[in-house]
Amino acid sequence: DADVTQTPRNRITKTGKRIMLECSQTKGHDRMYWYRQDPGLGLRLIYYSFDVKDINKGEISDGYSVSRQAQAKFSLSLESAIPNQTALYFCATSDSADLANSYEQYFGPGTRLTVT
């Protein structure tokens, strides 16, 4: 089984709808991240969480919110989806104790979201 899972893998929704993307991990890592990827723009950080009570905005948090329900679960919500939120979304995890590997990030398989 995959260490980092994302649901759904693909989603098409309409403008104005609320949508939640979910991420779960079995790696036991304390740190979790949400990124979006657009062609030519690489990965951009939306939100990150260092533990259940510590949530931080990334570079493009407007229009998004997150919830860290447990150490293993980190959800991303779009309260009112708009077409320019169409992108590939990745969840990632890292281990704060992983000094030897400089906090390597492990990515989920991604969620392809289309907002029409």
Partner 1 sequence: QKEVEQNSGPLSVPEGAIASLNCTYSDRGSQSFFWYRQYSGKSPELIMFIYSNGDKEDGRFTAQLNKASQYVSLLIRDSQPSDSATYLCAVTAYSSASKIIFGSGTRLSIRP
How many residues interact with partner 1 (rule CB under 8 A)? 23
**Interaction of residue 109 with partner 1, rule CB under 8 A:** yes
Residues 17-36 that bind partner 1 (CB under 8 A): 31, 35
Q: What is the DSSP string of the chain?
A: --SEEEE-SEEEE-TT--EEEEEEE-S--SEEEEEEEETTTEEEEEEEEEETTEEEE-TT-TTEEEEEEETTEEEEEESS--GGG-EEEEEEEE-TT-GGGTS--EE---EEEEE-
Name the residue with tokens 């951009």: 44
For residue 103, the minimal CB distance to partner 1 (Å) is 5
**Interaction of residue 105 with partner 1, rule CB under 8 A:** yes
- Give the residue, chosen from 7, 20, 43, 71, that forms a contact with partner 1 under the rule CB under 8 A: 43
Binding window for partner 1 (CB under 8 A); candidates: 13-21, 62-70, 73-81, 106-114: 106-114
Residues 65-94 that bind partner 1 (CB under 8 A): 90, 94
**Interaction of residue 96 with partner 1, rule CB under 8 A:** yes
Nearer to partner 1, 79 or 98 (CB): 98
